[in-house]
Amino acid sequence: MEEKKTMETQFSLASLAALLGWLALGLAVVVPPGHWRSRLLLLAGRWVPLGLGLFYAWLLVRHWGSSPGGGFASLAAVQVLFSAPGKMLGGWVHFLAFDLLVGQWMASRVLRRGGPRLPLLMVLPATFLYGPLGLLLYAATQAWRRAPAAEVAS
């Protein structure tokens, strides 16, 4: 029972860290270029994902072997793998870290190129909540932005 409570606390703390990273990223998009933007991008795109990565590595070591028969060879094996709460928490932290890293990559590209920030602010929440869907929306907004005006109008 105590371990379950500890894992719930760890889940909450990892989720809070990621949320703070996403808030820092969103703030970086709206503040003017300079010291604060650089610091916010560094926090959101490096420090928070690295911290989550360290936690993920610890979870891997801590829960190694906790789901016998689990693996990546089939969907059934992945289901067994994630049936262990420690492995499921690790999977969650994995998603949190990589989605935030992808969000920072998208923001950095748009800000470096001086692109419009409103579409970016609209796809960042989708990346936070739905990962690859946000990346697809980002790619679509970038493709649409680069399309010649005549093609967009038709």
pLDDT mean values, one per 10 residues, the chain (154 residues): 88 98 96 96 96 97 88 93 92 96 96 92 95 96 71 47
**Residue 119: which domain range?**
2-153
pTM score, whole prediction: 0.86
Distance, in Å, from the CA atom of 106 to the CA atom of 127, rounded to the nearest integer, reads 10
CA angle 145, 149, 153 (to 5 degrees): 105
Total domain count, the chain: 1
